[in-house]
Structure 1
């Protein structure tokens, strides 16, 4: 008998085709919501393996009486979402996708798999910034609602990018990919991080050091949050930081929602403390909730551009990531499945 793999959401076809060579597949069909814990527990009763993305929770209840699970394929293991101890105790294998070996990227980030994700996320950050700079979302909604326009109207005047300052609050892989685009758009690109780059690297990426994060926030026309999350950074950006920003400035977040005091952000957007925001991440995401959603207050704001935490959503990036999980599962099945 062939094993059965439950895939926690629709994924690019190449990964499905590869797994279908050695297993029967059941793919959770919906894209408008996450698979629930109850649905995963039920799937464990009829599946030998799970294929999950890294935000899908793993609970001990999946391994109870009647469970057929022998392994779970994943890209990242998260202690805040995945009960790894329960997996181990139940004898369910943690099947990790193989790491990407950097080859053709001069900065050590492979153009395959994980190296594509920071590129895609950095480019999405720039897209959010441009959307705010030229008020694309508001203009689109106006045209759809009204069906007419006044040529060269004053209604959707934007600040653009030429001669403006963008502050990169954090400077890792994603920031680097964004910086090279931003500096080509006639912008002054400031950055702050714990350790300053070398002079050569600052020249290479077209960025200027700003030692004081508050100074970066105050000087920037676009403040882009790009730091990694840990518990010490919970709500690190709140009312005080928003009040430091120019009233004409925009806040862009493609990092993590829990870095930001969301109520303070909503207040700043409502009372005109800042001009607007481009948001890819939200407070109401795992592990705070299993099924992530966007706060209704944000959804009603015209001066906010929203994307559903999907920064790596290119066929190349998502395709490579899912293919590597599939490869690990196929290798495991070929080596150990006995039927």
Structure 2
């Protein structure tokens, strides 16, 4: 008998094809919501392996009576989403996707060997959101679809563009590095702030300028891009105070985590013209805050907000590499432990 594998959402074909070579594969079919805990519990009774994405909850109920699980493929433990004590006592093998180490000659992940693909894709999406705001692409698209007719060279959708403008990178990790080289090429002044300043050589390498005071970065920037990791200590890092520091013509871009932002303060700043607009990839209403992620209705009603569904790594290369590594971990366990 071949093992039965339940995949918690649609994933790229290379990973599915590999899994199908070694087992019977069932894929959760919906793309407008995450798999529920009840559906996961049902899958654990009829499946031997779960293929989980990073937001999939792993709770004690998955290991209850009737469960046939022997292995779960996932990207790694998350105390907010995973019941680590129940996992440890279940006897179910947790199969972590192996992430390749960066090449010695390419520590920043610019090679095409699979390393650095997700930060690269997320950094490029950040730039896409910025450009959308700079040239008001989303508003122009909606206008063209709704009206059909237009006035050539209209002033209705004039934008600030990027040439000669200042972008502030609040945080400077892997994603910011990937974005910085593109922003510099777009004739922008690129500022950054972080706890530890880069060396002069690295600042020259990335084309960025250090700003020690985060408030100064916010005040000077035409585009403020939030790029720090979320921790309990920096929850709601951006709130009413920070938005009031921004220029009224400035845009706020968030490709980090929704919980870094006081969302009601952002909504108010967008409504009353404190800032010009926003490009949002992450929202407070995501796991682990809620199970089914959703975009607040207030943002969906605003023409000056560009929205993407927390999907920064959504290129065939990036998502394909991520899911293939998890599939390889499951297949390795099948080869080592599955008894026909």
Q: TM-score when scaled to structure 2?
A: 0.98
- Shift in Å at residue 112 of structure 1? 3.7
**1:335: which partner in 2?**
336
Q: Specify whether residues 130 and 59 from structure 1 end up closer, same or farther in structure 2 by C-alpha distance, changes over 3 A only.
A: same
Residues 1-339 of structure 1 correspond to what in structure 2 (within 5 A)? 1-103=1-103, 106-109=106-109, 111-339=112-340
8 Å CA contact retained: 2:227, 2:256 = yes
Shift of 1:319: 0.2
Give 1:338 shift.
1.2
Query: Per-residue CA shift, 1:4-43, capped at 9, x if unaligned?
Result: 0000000000000001111100000111111111111111
Task: Give, in whole Å, the separation in 1 of the partners of 2:114 and 2:58.
Answer: 24
Deviations 1:213-235 (A, max 9, x none): 00000000000000001000110
Q: What is the root-mean-square deviation of aligned Cα atoms in Å? A: 1.0
Q: Unaligned regions of 5+ residues in structure 2, if any?
A: none
Q: Secondary structure at the match of 2:122?
A: helix
Once residues 239 and 12 of structure 2 are traced to their aligned partners in structure 1, the CA distance between those partners, rounded to angstroms, is: 38
In structure 2, C-alpha distance between the alignment counterparts of 1:149 and 1:105, rounded to whole Å: 52
Distance 1:104 1:123, change over 3 A: farther
C-alpha distance 108-184 of structure 1, shift in aligned 2 (>3 A): closer
Q: Is the 8 A contact 2:101 2:115 kept in 1?
A: no
What are the superposed Cα offsets for residues 98-140 of structure 1, whole Å, 9 maximum, x if unpaired?
Answer: 1212228623426344510000000000000000000000000
Secondary structure at the residue paired with 1:21?
Answer: helix
1:284 aligns to what SS in structure 2? coil
CA distance in 2 between counterparts of 1:143 and 1:78 reads 44
Aligned partners of 2:236 and 2:169: how far apart in 1?
18
2:136–2:157 contact (8 Å) kept in structure 1? yes
- Given that 1:112 and 1:320 are in contact with CA atoms closer than 8 Å, whether structure 2 keeps it comes out as no
Q: Could you list the per-position Cα deviations for residues 47-91 of structure 1 after superposition, in whole angstroms to 9, with x for gaps in the alignment?
A: 001001111111110110001111110113211001122112111
What is the alpha-carbon distance in structure 1 between the residues aligned to residue 313 and residue 149 of structure 2? 35
Distance 1:318 1:104, change over 3 A: farther
SS at match of 1:35: coil
Does the CA contact (< 8 Å) of 2:4 and 2:48 recur in 1?
yes
Q: Any conservation in 2 of the 1:105–1:111 contact (CA below 8 Å)?
A: no
Q: 1:64 to 1:293 in 2, by over 3 A?
A: same
CA distance in 1, matches of 2:129, 2:243: 18
Off by >3 Å, runs of 4+ in structure 1: 110-114
Pairs aligned (count): 339
**TM-score, normalization by structure 1:** 0.98
